[in-house]
């Protein structure tokens, strides 16, 4: 069950611009770095991505070419997201 604090955090993340291209609206991607496939990612470990950079061909669930061009990873995006949410 998702708590009120988690729902608020996810809404705030979804209101941000895409970490890769700056587009809106955004989807929420849960960072799973360091976790096994069977583990649920925390809602607080999430980043904003547009549809293309989330589940599109060049996105995090695709070939990751947009990420490679930016030379940044999910943890970089998470740090940026947490800094923006904390403002």
- Domain extent listing, the chain: 4-31+44-86
CATH code for the structural domain at 4-31+44-86: 3.30.40.190
Predicted TM-score (pTM) above 0.85: yes
Residue 9: pLDDT above 90? yes
In the chain, DSSP assigns E strands to: 27-30, 46-49
Q: What share of the chain is helix, strand, coil (3-state, %, to 5)?
A: 40, 10, 50
CB 59, CB 52: distance < 8 Å:
yes
Residue 66: pLDDT above 90? yes
Report percent pLDDT > 90 for the chain: 79
Average pLDDT, the chain: 91
Q: Which residues contact 67 (CB under 8 A, 6 or more apart)?
A: 20, 53, 59, 60, 73
**Mean pLDDT, residues 44-56:** 95
């Amino acid at each position: 069950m998702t708590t009120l604090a988690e729902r608020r955090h996810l809404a705030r993340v979804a209101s941000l611009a895409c970490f890769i291209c700056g587009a809106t609206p955004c989807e929420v991607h849960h960072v799973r770095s360091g976790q096994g496939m069977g583990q649920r990612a925390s809602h607080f470990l999430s980043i904003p991505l547009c549809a293309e950079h989330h589940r599109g061909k060049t996105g995090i669930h695709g070939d990751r070419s947009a990420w490679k061009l930016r030379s940044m990873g999910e943890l970089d995006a998470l740090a940026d997201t947490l800094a923006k949410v904390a403002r």
